Amino acid sequence: MLYRLKKELSRSVKGAVMVSALGLAGIYAMPASAATISLLETGSTLLYPLFNLWVPVYTKMNPGVQITTQGTGSGTGIAEAISGVAQIGASDAYMSDAQIKMHQNILNIPLAISIQMINYNLPGLNNKHLKLSGPVLAGIYSGKITNWDDAAIAKLNPGVKLPNHKIVPIHRTDGSGDTFIFTTYLSDTTPAWSKSVGYSTTVSWPAVPGGIGAEGNPGMVQALKTTPYGVAYIGISWKKPVEEAKLGLAMLENRAGNFVLPTVENAKAAAGEMVSKTPADERISLVFAPGAKSYPIINYEYAIVSKTQAKPEVAAAMKKFLNWAIDPKGGNAPHFITAVNFVPLPDSAAELSRKQIAEIH
């Protein structure tokens, strides 16, 4: 009896010691955790995979910062950065002049460069790189070119036996930076498209019977996979699932009239042409760049942030993180960027981004 009591007692003492030790540790940890700054990143689903690679590595090096990431779409990213709900809004599209006029304290800071693929599902031809041009794609998406063996497509692909089958154009239904850059390419190459539809994160797609709207990049891949004779535009960070589904990848006509594949090399060539034209606020389309090798559909991936932050500590933490993100030894290091098939930010663009980051206070 006594023995048992003793045992109980010692157990409870042990427990008490442990509890108080934990408590002490908690008290010790408290000042540190109170100083932890939490940042919220929300927006583009194309940038989301990259942020997911960045955040664990960065927060391990900087234990005082906690970063939450959310893939909610570029529009939400911009809206929440403006309203102050999120500190960093991620967007594939830059803000319009009208939006900037209304919110002059908002910065558009490029973090990396993304590429867009044009993919198709043509049974028997998916291992071939079909040649497509802006006017042909505009014709397909406006319902003027309805069959794969249309003369306009056949002219670009001599010797290829194109099927006599209806084309199913697939587009994004959610607001999307991918739609923005795709329709920019169509507008830049085809005056008729520019006049009737134009470019935006959502456009009023001409009614093409049978045409499909899909949600997000994963939805585009799935829709194309299940739709033979379909065509779709898909962000480069989804290259792996596209290859696994054995879908076709198109060569696109660039400004020089050459047909090029969406390789990192061709994207770098295009970026090289456009970087010198980038203005100080960095809001510029990189689509349809000049140059013999330039791939025509690339874009800056933006962090949308407010210049004025409520607390100086938050501003300092944001500056540090964003500067790390664009650093070729930090977030723009090859092992991060190539994992999502992006192109690292060119030096002079990084310089402009650093200047913009310095404005945060």
Partner 1 sequence: MKIPVFRTALVATASFLPISLLLLIIFLAVYSWPAIQYNQFHFLWTNDWNLGNLYGNPVSVNGHQIMPGAKYGIWFLVVGTIASSVLAMLIAMPIAIGAAYFLSEGIRKTWSGPLSLFVDLLAAIPSVVYGLWGYALLVPLFGHTIFPFLAKTFSFIPFLNGEAGSGYGLLTSAFVLAVMIIPLISATLRESIQMTEPALKEAGLSLGLNRLEVFWHIVLPKLRTVLIGVGILALGRALGETMAVLMVSGNALNYLPNNIYAPISTMAAFIASQLDSALQDPTNMAVEALSEIALVLLLITVVVNIAARMMLWMAKVR
> Hey, what are 26's tokens?
């908690």
Helix (H) or strand (E) holding 115: strand 106-120
Range 121-180, binding partner 1 (CB under 8 A): 166, 168, 173-176
Q: Is 338 in the site for partner 1 (CB under 8 A)?
A: no
Interface region with partner 1, contact rule CB under 8 A, candidates 3-11, 47-55, 205-213, 286-294: 205-213
By beta-carbon proximity to partner 1, the closer residue of 122 and 214 is: 214
121 with 228: CB under 8 angstroms?
Answer: yes
Q: Is 73 in the site for partner 1 (CB under 8 A)?
A: yes
Least separation in angstroms between CB 175 and partner 1: 3
Least separation in angstroms between CB 137 and partner 1: 18
**Which member of 201, 266, 299, 309 binds partner 1 (CB under 8 A)?**
201
Measured CA to CA, the distance from residue 290 to residue 3 in angstroms comes to 89
Measured CA to CA, the distance from residue 38 to residue 46 in angstroms comes to 23
Range 94-123, binding partner 1 (CB under 8 A): 95-99, 101-102
Least separation in angstroms between CB 317 and partner 1: 26
Q: Is 200 in the site for partner 1 (CB under 8 A)?
A: yes
Least separation in angstroms between CB 336 and partner 1: 26
Residues facing 290 on adjacent strands: none
CA dihedral of 280, 83, 96, 328, whole degrees rounded to 10: 40
Q: How far is CA 94 from the centre of its chain?
A: 12
**Which member of 207, 257, 276, 329 binds partner 1 (CB under 8 A)?**
207
Measured CA to CA, the distance from residue 208 to residue 219 in angstroms comes to 19
By beta-carbon proximity to partner 1, the closer residue of 224 and 350 is: 224
Identify the CA nearest to 147 among candidates 101, 189, 208, 103: 208
202 with 179: CB under 8 angstroms?
Answer: yes
Q: Is 287 in the site for partner 1 (CB under 8 A)?
A: no
DSSP labels, 146-157: -BTT-HHHHHHS
Least separation in angstroms between CB 101 and partner 1: 8
Q: Is 62 in the site for partner 1 (CB under 8 A)?
A: no
> Strand, coil or helix: what is 34?
helix
Applying CB under 8 A, the residues found at the interface with partner 1 are: 72-76, 78-79, 93, 95-99, 101-102, 166, 168, 173-176, 198-207, 209-215, 219, 222-223, 226-227, 230
